[in-house]
Structure 1
Amino acid sequence: MTDQHAGQHRRVTLADVASRAGVSTALVSIVMRDAPGASAASRERILGVAREMGYRPDVRARSLASLKAHLIGVLFGRAGRFHFELIDGLYTAAEDRGWDLVLSALTSSRDEKRALGSLQDFRFDALIMLGPEIPEPQLAGQIPLVVVGWHVDHPGVDIVRTSDDHAMALSVKHLVDLGHRRIAHLQGGRGLIALARRDAYKQAMRANGLRSEIHVVECDGEDQLDGQRATRTMLETGRDLPSALIAFNDDIAAAAMSVLGQQGISVPGDISVIGFDDSALAGSPGLDLTTIRQVPQEMARLAVERIVARTSGAKVDGREIILEPELVVRATTGPANDR
C-alpha cells in the first residue's frame, strides 16, 4: 500500500488542520470547541479548512461551527444487573439534556489509570463514576465529577447514593418484627459500598439489641458465583443456620437461595432472605425476592443534572444527594422458624 493510499484512511487531526491553515494547534482547538479567543476571520478560515479535509472532532459528529462541550465520561467496574440499569438511566438522562456519554470499563487487568486514559482520547468534559469505589478519584477537583453509590470526602466530588444506614435499618427491623434474631449478612466483597452496608448491618443489629447475633459472611465479590461460594462456605462451617440472611445485592441473594434450595433448605420456611437494589431479577416470578429498592433511573437523572449544573456554573445545595430507600416485601421473608 502506498503512503498516499494509506493517508486516505488516516484520521485527520487537529495538527493536520492547523498545518493546512497555517495556524497553531491551540487556535484550531479553540475554534473546534467554540471557545473564546479566535477572531471571526480565523474561525471562518479554520472551519473551512476542516471541512475540506473531512475533519471530525473526536467521535462527536456535530456541526463544526456549533460544537459545544457536552460529553460525559462514565467509568464502571464489574457491572451487575443494577449497574446496567444505572447505565441505561444515564443514557436516557444525558440524551434528555442534549449530552453524550462515552463509557470505559475496569477489568482485572485494566485499572483506573488505564480506563481514564482511554477516555482522554474523547476529551470528555465531566466524569460519572460507578466504579472503582475509591476514597479519592484521580480526577477529583480537576473536572466536574460525580460518584454514584459511595461517599468521597474530597470537596471537589459530588455524590449520589442511597442511605445504606436506613436500608439496613429497614431490613433488620422487618426481620425482627417477624421474630428473627439470628440474622446474618452476606457481604459483597471489600469495596467501599460493601463495607458501608456491612457496617450499617452491624449498627442496625446493635440498635435492635442483637449485638451477640452479628454474623458477617464474606464474599469475594458481588456476583452470583461469589454468592454461591460464600453460601456453601457458610453451610460448611458447622455453625447453626441463621434464621435470616440480608445480602449485599439481589444477585448474591439469588445465589444464596439457589444453594439453599440444593441443600433442601426452604425459603422462607427455614430461612428468610432479603436482597438489595430491587433489580429486574428481584421481581421475577421464579424469585419474588424481598429487597431494598433503589431507583437507578432517578439516581442517573440526579447524577447528570449535577454534572450539567457544575459545568454551567449554576449554584447547587451541598455536594451529597442521599436518597431514602424503600423495603419491598415479597415472598422470601416470613416468620422465624427456630425448630
Structure 2
Amino acid sequence: MARPRRTTGWRQLSRGGAVAEQPWSGRRVTLADVAKRAGVSTALASIVMREAPGASEASRRRVLAAAEDLGYRPDVRARSLASLKPHLIGVLFGRAGRFHFELIDGLYAAAEERGWELVLSALTSSRDEARALSSLNDFRFDALVMLGPPVAEPMLAGQVPLTVIGWHVDQPDVDIVRTSDEHGLNLAVRHLVELGHRRIAHLQGGDGLVAIARRDAYVAAMRDVGLDHEVRIIECAGEDQLDGQRAARALLDENTELPTALVAFNDDIAAAAMSVLAQHGIDVPGDMSIIGFDDSALARSPEVDLTSVQQVPQELARLAVERIVARCEGRKVADREMVLEPELKVRSSTGPAPSA
C-alpha cells in the first residue's frame, strides 16, 4: 500500500466560503508566519494574540485575519510557560558615553521593583536600528525603551508601547522622558557669565537630534545674555572621549583667539578636552573653564572634578518604566512628554575668567 504523499509548497484552506492559500511544509505555523503575512513585527503580532493593549484596531484586525488565513493555533504549552515569565522591556542603546550605562542600571532597578525584566540590544557602527530590533523580536518583548538611536520616527512607533529617553519625538504614539537641554545650557552659560567669561564656545557632539538640541540651546542661552556675537561652535565627530580629544586639538590648531570657557555636549567630551588642554600647558580653570553635561560618575570623580549639568538617570529610568507599565496595562498617561529641570553641579573645572 502506497504511503500518502506529503504535501509541500502551498495548500488550500476554506475561509468563509472563499479559498485561501497557506504556506505549508509539514511544520507548525508560527507567530512569525502570522506577523509576516500581516506585515507587522512579531512583537506586535504577539500583543494581538495575547489580547494585550498596545495595538491599533487596524493592526489587530490585520493580525487576526492573517492568523485565520494561515490556520495559526497558539502553542498552549508555550503560552502556559510564558504566563509564568515576567514581562519583558526591550532596551535599545548605542554609543552615547557612560551616561547610558547609568541609565541602563536605573532601568534594571526600576523594572525589578515591578517584577519586570529587561532584554538589551546595542547599536554599533555596523548594527542599525532595524538589526537591533530584529534581535529583540526573538524575545517577544512587551514594550520598548529607546536610549538610542535618537531618531525623529522610531520604527516601532504605534506598534508597541514605546518610550524614548533623552530627546523629543513628535509622533503621538511615543512617550518621552528627558532632561531640559534648554534649561541646562542656560544654567551653564549664565554660570560662566557670572564668572566674567564672554568668549564661551560649545563643543557639539556630532549631528544627532540630541546634539542639535543642545547646540541650539547654547545659542539661545548666549543670545539671552547678550553674547550673540561671541557664539562659537566646535564640531565633534561623535560623542565619546576620542571625539573630544580631536575637537580640542582642532581648536588649538586654529589660528584664532582661544575661548576662555567651553560648554561640552557631555562629560566624556569635556573630560577629553581637559586632558588635551593640560598636555598643551593650558590650565583648567585658570586659563580656560570647562562645563560638561550629564553629571556622570566621570564628572564626579576626584581626578576630573568637572562642573556639569546634572541629569538623574535613576529618575529618568523610573519615569520611563512607569509609563511603559501603564501603557501595557491599558492605563492612561496624563502627559506624553515628561521634561525634568536639571541643576548645575559646580566643581573645580570652572573659575573666574582670566584677566585681559
TM-score interval, normalised by the smaller of the two chains = 0.7 to 0.9
Instruction: Give yes or no for contact 1:272–1:332 (8 Å, CA) kept in 2.
Output: yes
CA deviations 1:262-311 (Å, max 9, x no partner) are 00000000000001101001111111111011000110010000000111
Superposition deviation, residue 35 in structure 1: 5.7
Alignment of 1:1-339 (within 5 A): 50=77, 64=81, 66-67=83-84, 70-339=87-356
Structure 1 spans left out of the alignment, 5+ residues? 1-18, 38-45, 58-62
Instruction: Give yes or no for contact 1:147–1:157 (8 Å, CA) kept in 2.
Output: yes
RMSD: 2.3
* Structure 1 residues 231 and 68: alpha-carbon distance in aligned structure 2, compared to 1, 3 A threshold: same
How far apart, CA to CA, are the structure 1 residues paired with 2:29 and 2:120? Answer: 31
Give 2:7's aligned residue.
Answer: none
Instruction: Give yes or no for contact 1:276–1:291 (8 Å, CA) kept in 2.
Output: yes
Secondary structure at the residue paired with 2:354?
coil
Instruction: Give yes or no for contact 1:34–1:67 (8 Å, CA) kept in 2.
Output: no
How far apart, CA to CA, are the structure 2 residues paired with 1:308 and 1:230? Answer: 41
Superposition deviation, residue 338 in structure 1: 3.8
How far apart, CA to CA, are the structure 2 residues paired with 1:337 and 1:79? Answer: 33
Whichever residue aligns with residue 315 of structure 1, its letter is: K
Superposition deviation, residue 24 in structure 1: 7.1
Whichever residue aligns with residue 347 of structure 2, its letter is: R
How far apart, CA to CA, are the structure 2 residues paired with 1:243 and 1:97? Answer: 48
* Structure 1 residues 264 and 308: alpha-carbon distance in aligned structure 2, compared to 1, 3 A threshold: same
Percent of paired sites with the same residue = 70
Give 1:13's aligned residue.
Answer: none
Structure 2 spans left out of the alignment, 5+ residues? 1-25, 32-44, 53-63, 65-74
CA deviations 1:238-276 (Å, max 9, x no partner) are 111101000001110100000000000000000000011
Secondary structure at the residue paired with 1:186?
strand
CA deviations 1:123-154 (Å, max 9, x no partner) are 11110000011101011111100000000000
How far apart, CA to CA, are the structure 2 residues paired with 1:34 and 1:246? Answer: 49
Q: What's the TM-score once normalised by structure 1's chain length?
A: 0.83
Instruction: Give yes or no for contact 2:292–2:307 (8 Å, CA) kept in 1.
Output: yes
Equivalences, count: 296
Instruction: Give yes or no for contact 1:75–1:128 (8 Å, CA) kept in 2.
Output: yes
Secondary structure at the residue paired with 1:135?
coil
Superposition deviation, residue 67 in structure 1: 3.4
How far apart, CA to CA, are the structure 1 residues paired with 2:141 and 2:251? Answer: 45
Q: What's the TM-score once normalised by structure 2's chain length?
A: 0.79
Secondary structure at the residue paired with 1:286?
coil
Whichever residue aligns with residue 103 of structure 1, its letter is: L
How far apart, CA to CA, are the structure 1 residues paired with 2:333 and 2:51? Answer: 25
Superposition deviation, residue 321 in structure 1: 0.3
Instruction: Give yes or no for contact 1:228–1:255 (8 Å, CA) kept in 2.
Output: yes
Superposition deviation, residue 318 in structure 1: 1.4
* Structure 1 residues 198 and 25: alpha-carbon distance in aligned structure 2, compared to 1, 3 A threshold: closer
How far apart, CA to CA, are the structure 2 residues paired with 1:110 and 1:180? Answer: 42
Whichever residue aligns with residue 93 of structure 1, its letter is: A
Aligned structure 1 segments of 4 or more residues deviating by more than 6 angstroms: none
Superposition deviation, residue 66 in structure 1: 3.4
Superposition deviation, residue 65 in structure 1: 7.2
Secondary structure at the residue paired with 1:282?
helix
Whichever residue aligns with residue 109 of structure 1, its letter is: S
How far apart, CA to CA, are the structure 1 residues paired with 2:82 and 2:99? Answer: 39
Instruction: Give yes or no for contact 2:86–2:115 (8 Å, CA) kept in 1.
Output: no
